[in-house]
């Protein structure tokens, strides 16, 4: 009888010990799963953050280049005239050109946030400098004149803000670029192009720019 009672007590103790141990195992498993899930969430957040930075960087890089580099665009070969009311004379600080998928681009960058008015059209030769009336030789079979008003390309002491007023990119369309006027709030550049193809105009911000794209 004593042996049976002793055996019964051993069985009860074993069952109680097993019941106490299983929750610990389950709790440990749950804790590991929770930690693993937290790590996965952290990795996902980190990955999304990296992708966001990459996209923002690409956007900044492509602001001027245009992400759809080879797409056709609607342009004109006629006159474009835009009057912008600004508080003071705009100062032209940089002129640059670049070749893209199916167009050449020239960019005019200004100080401050205001873009002056502009008048763009193809003109006949001879191209003449304002003031003197001297003939300005330009390569190409077409001449696109781009005039800004009110604008200047010099500082208060009369020093030019554009170091290179004659540029020879020699691209597929844009062959040569020259400044022909910086006088009485009038700044004019002429592009010598291989042919008078259609062009489009883009007003860009931060910094203030006017981009002119000419189709290949």
- Whether 74 is in a domain gets the answer no
- Whether 9 is in a domain gets the answer yes
User: Which pTM does this prediction carry?
Assistant: 0.70
Query: Which structural domain range is residue 5 located in?
Result: 1-65
Neighbours of 188 (CB within 10 A): 21
Query: What whole-number percentage of the chain has pLDDT above 90?
Result: 65
Q: Cα 100 from chain centroid? A: 14
159 with 92, same domain?
yes
141 with 34, same domain?
no
60 with 92, same domain?
no
Encode pLDDT of 18-41 as tens digits: 444 444 434 444 344 444 444 443
Encode pLDDT of 41-63 as tens digits: 344 333 333 332 222 223 333 34
Biggest CA-to-CA distance, the chain: 132
- Whether 71 is in a domain gets the answer no
211 with 161, same domain?
yes
Point out which residues pair with 154 in neighbouring strands.
Answer: 160
93 with 134, same domain?
yes
- Whether 48 is in a domain gets the answer yes
């Amino acid at each position: 009888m004593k042996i049976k009672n002793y055996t019964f007590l051993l069985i009860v103790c074993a069952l109680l010990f097993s019941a106490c141990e299983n929750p610990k195992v389950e709790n440990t498993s749950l804790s590991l799963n929770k930690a693993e899930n937290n790590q996965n969430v952290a990795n996902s957040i980190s990955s999304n953050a990296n992708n966001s930075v990459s996209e923002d960087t690409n956007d900044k890089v492509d602001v001027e280049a245009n992400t759809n580099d080879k797409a056709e665009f609607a342009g004109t070969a006629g006159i474009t005239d835009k009057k912008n009311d600004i508080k003071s004379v705009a100062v032209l600080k940089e002129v640059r050109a670049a070749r893209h998928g199916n167009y050449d681009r020239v960019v005019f960058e200004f100080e401050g946030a205001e873009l002056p008015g502009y008048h763009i059209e193809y003109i006949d030769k001879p191209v003449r400098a304002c003031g003197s009336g001297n003939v300005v030789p330009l390569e190409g079979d077409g001449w696109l004149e781009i005039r800004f008003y009110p604008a200047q390309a010099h500082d208060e002491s009369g020093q030019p803000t554009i170091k290179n007023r004659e540029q020879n990119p020699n691209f597929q369309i844009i062959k040569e670029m020259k400044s022909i006027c910086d006088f009485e709030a009038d700044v004019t550049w002429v592009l010598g192009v291989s042919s008078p193809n259609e062009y489009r105009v883009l007003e860009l911000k931060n910094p203030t720019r006017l981009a002119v794209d000419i189709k290949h």
